[in-house]
């Protein structure tokens, strides 16, 4: 087996909540010995809409140097971890647009047997967190991917309470991810890296 396990953390964030969770995922992957790419998906909203929201405009400026995700990032990775805010119980349109462009890579089998995991945030409690993660899992099934979740494998997960992936309630972006949400993000990431590394060893044997 050559090289480190490759992890792509691909996210969308308007005001910074899922960005902070994406940073936690990238840090956890690096701590686990993985090679990491942190990538945002392309913004679809018009600049006028972004400028009309102070938090959105500030975050847009703050992350202008974060590279945008490309299909090459999906192909390169052994592990792909997606992060998104919830939009009516499903992923944000910006992330969906990136996923919808993956057809050529999917058609030639470029996504088969990769490990996938996810995290999300909502404005309100019970605002569709689990539904959003499950909507992402539907994509992974079509890709022939392997879904890794945090489950309840550590006591901290009984505090976090979401076995499908890390999640956070932001109160419309007013409450940044707390230690519980960041710990759940890190746990999800570590499990994904561990499983992907074991798979790589198995395939190489």
Question: Tens digit of pLDDT for each residue in 135-156?
Answer: 999 999 999 999 999 999 999 9
The model carries a pTM of 0.95
Third-level CATH fold of 6-204: Rossmann fold (3.40.50)
Tell me the domain boundaries of the chain: 6-204
Residue range 80-128, pLDDT digits in tens: 999 999 999 999 999 999 999 999 999 999 999 999 999 999 999 989 9
3-state secondary structure the chain: CCCCCEEEEEECCCCCHHHHHHHHHHHHHHHCCCEEEEEECCCCCCHHHHHCCHHHHHHHHHCCCCCECCHHHHHHCCEEEEEEEEECCEECHHHHHHHHCCHHHHHCCCCCCCEEEEEEEECCCCCCHHHHHHHHHHHHHHHCCEECCCCCCCCCHHHHCCCCCEEEECCCCCCCCCHHHHHHHHHHHHHHHHHHHHHHHHHHC
Q: Encode 26-43: b = buried (16+ Cβ within 10 Å), e = exposed.
A: bbbbbebebebbbbbbeb
pLDDT > 70 fraction of the chain, expressed in percent and rounded = 100
């Amino acid at each position: 087996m050559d090289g480190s396990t490759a992890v792509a953390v691909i996210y969308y964030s308007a005001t910074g909540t899922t960005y902070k969770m994406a940073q936690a995922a990238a840090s956890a992957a690096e701590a686990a010995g993985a090679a990491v790419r942190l990538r945002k998906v392309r913004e679809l909203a018009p600049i006028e809409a972004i400028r009309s929201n102070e938090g959105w405009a500030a975050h847009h400026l703050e992350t202008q140097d974060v590279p945008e995700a490309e299909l090459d990032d999906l192909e390169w990775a052994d592990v792909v971890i997606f992060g998104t805010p919830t939009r009516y119980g499903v992923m944000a349109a910006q992330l969906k647009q990136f996923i919808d462009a993956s057809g050529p890579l999917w058609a030639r089998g470029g996504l088969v047997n990769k490990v996938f995991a996810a995290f999300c945030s909502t404005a309100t409690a019970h605002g569709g967190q689990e539904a959003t993660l499950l909507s992402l899992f539907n994509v992974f099934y079509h890709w022939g991917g392997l879904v890794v979740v945090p489950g309840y494998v550590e006591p901290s997960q009984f505090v976090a309470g979401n076995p499908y992936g890390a999640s956070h309630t932001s109160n419309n972006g007013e409450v940044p991810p707390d230690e519980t949400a960041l710990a759940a993000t890190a746990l999800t990431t570590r499990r994904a890296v561990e499983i992907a590394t074991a798979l790589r060893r198995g395939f190489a044997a």
